[in-house]
Amino acid sequence: MDGSTAGPSLTARLRALLGADADVPAVEFEGRTATWGELRRLGEAAGRELDALGLGEGARVGVVLGNRPESVALAHLALSTGRCLTVFNPLQPGDRLAADIERTAPPVLFAPAAFWESRERASAAARAGAAGYMADGVSVRRVPSPPLEGTATPTRFAPGVAVELSTSGTTGPPKRVPLTYRQLDATLGSVDGHMAARRRERAPFTGGVSLISTPMVHIGGLWGVIQSLAEARRMVLLERFTLDGWREVIRAHRPKVAGLPPAAMRSVLEADVPPEELSSLRAIMAGAAPTPPDLADAFQRRYDVAVLVVYGATEFSGAVAGWSLGLHRTWWERKKGSVGRPFPGVDLRVTGADGEVLPTGERGLLEVRTAQAGGDGEWIRTSDLARLDEDGFLWIEGRADDVIIRGGFKVHPATVAAALERHPAVAEAAVAGLPDERLGQVPVAAFEVRPGADVPGDGELRAWCRRELLPYEVPVRFLHVPELPRGVSQKVSRVDLVALFQ
């Protein structure tokens, strides 16, 4: 598990881009296309500022990372020069973003003009001791810091770390995860091996496009940008997923592969998008949140497009298991509901509470061993409940850290949600635990209804659950919502879900 790859390292691939044709279109955003020369000039200007501050190789480079062309340029700068891209999420509320900047204390912070217009956020950057720069369009400009006393001493260097990225925070407060260059190199090689990549000789930023609709502050969106840069592939950025924006890109560019989280996949179906609009697609990559097999089947029947589910985590710098087109053709009908097989260079096992390795087919905690996780080949225990079957397919069956203990009995939210989703009126459900003085915790459920369906009452849903579940698994409250609360990865935010019932 040495983390080596057969091809050039990520940094070497990104440095090779510096010689690409300056006039070639590289990134399309909101109807405008930035050339590679424009992005390169922005990166060079930012690089000169960093050099003047003494922030060379290994330096932490804070970026408020939206899905915008300047973010691509700054990511390329950091990762092609051995610096550390320290990511801040512009989608979070202003006070939380300000607190994150103060807590993380980068030595420098690049952000768009809208960020610096907020005194709260500009002051947070100053208190963190960060040199501030406005990065908009194709220019970089120093921002004067407001006079403040007691500024922090920033943490200037993180040797060997490529990216500092926060987790999605769907089950609790986000945590910042360091991803090393070694990990990203291993991920690049693993994904190439899984997809049986055959790189044809072509000029940089020619050929098909990559559609990036997942926010870059999530590992899925950031990895999409990194992989596109590594493959010198032109990108189309959506600031965030919208059905109309996604459809327009598919119609205009006719890609063969696109990504859709389950909630977005459901939006496409509910909008009754004509199949001819998606006729260029061979596959949809589905990750970030559990993909119900019935949803995948409905999408595949409607559009004749394979849904390739993948499984990963921020800590693994991306996906570690998934489906390929070859696996899908051979195994889908027998293994639907699985998240596929481990990628090349990835080992999986399932263990019990005491750490013992469980037999094939038994449910326990998933452990992963891969160079993508860094370290020296040790097993990394996740919080995911899983099983591995006799054919090597991985099945994710909830999370250990969201188990509800009701009067001493364990209630798995995924089990309860799946039962509710079998009700003909329920499109999607999410379950969480609330404190209870007598029982410790009790389950509650929020749900969306299918288009055109009547909202079922509490009595109907309670009776349904009593037929489908054990008595202690039946939720004590049901709440119909227009949309379940979701984070940037489109996973249901359990923190916000609980707040609906308080």
Q: Which amino acid is at 493?
A: S
* pLDDT score recorded for residue 118: 93
pTM of the model: 0.84
For residue 135, tell me if it sits in a domain: yes
CA 288 remoteness from chain centre: 5
Q: What's the pLDDT score for residue 94?
A: 87
Q: Are residues 391 and 449 in the same domain?
A: no
Write the CATH number for 421.
3.30.300.30
Total domains in the fold of the chain: 3
Same domain, 413 and 483: yes
pLDDT at 488 over 80: no
What does the pLDDT look like over 409-464, one tens digit per residue?
889 898 999 999 999 999 999 999 999 888 889 999 999 999 999 999 999 999 99
Letter for the amino acid at 372? Q
Residue 273 lies in a domain: no
Look at residue 165 and give its three-state secondary structure. Answer: strand
Spatial neighbors of 352 by CB under 8 A, at least 6 apart, are 358, 364, 365
Per-residue pLDDT at 190 exceeds 80: no
In-domain check, residue 199: no
Per DSSP, the three-state class of 447 is strand
Residue 121 domain-assigned (yes or no)? yes
Q: Over the stretch 468-477, which tens digit does the pLDDT of each residue have?
A: 999 999 999 9
Least confident interval from 146-155, 260-269, 325-334, 415-424:
146-155
Cα dihedral 312→318→321→323 (10° resolution): 110
Q: Which of 160, 180, 200 is the last residue of a domain?
A: 180
Same domain as 392, residue 407: no
Could you list the residue range(s) of the whole structural domain that residue 464 is in? 403-499
Band (1; pLDDT cuts 50, 70, 90): very low
State what percent of residues in the chain have pLDDT above 90: 73
pLDDT at 2: 42
Average pLDDT, the chain: 90
For residue 212, tell me if it sits in a domain: no
- Assess whether pLDDT exceeds 80 at residue 144: yes
41 lies in the same domain as 167: yes
What is the CATH number for 318? Answer: 2.30.38.10
- Alpha-carbon span 105 to 296, nearest angstrom: 43
- 333 and 377 inside one domain: yes
Asked if residue 238 is part of any domain, the answer here is no
Judge if 388 and 408 occupy the same domain.
no
pLDDT at 202 over 90: no
Answer yes or no: is pLDDT of 249 > 90: yes
Q: What is the pLDDT of residues 303-314, one digit of tens each?
A: 999 999 999 988
Question: Domain end: 145, 180, 215, which one?
Answer: 180
Say if 348 falls within a structural domain.
Answer: yes
Range name among 189-193, 389-393, 418-422 with the lowest pLDDT average: 189-193
Last residue of a domain, one of 164, 180, 196: 180
Mean pLDDT of 211-224: 92
Q: Are residues 361 and 460 in the same domain?
A: no
- Give me the CATH number covering residue 69: 3.40.50.980
Q: Does 316 share its domain with 447? A: no
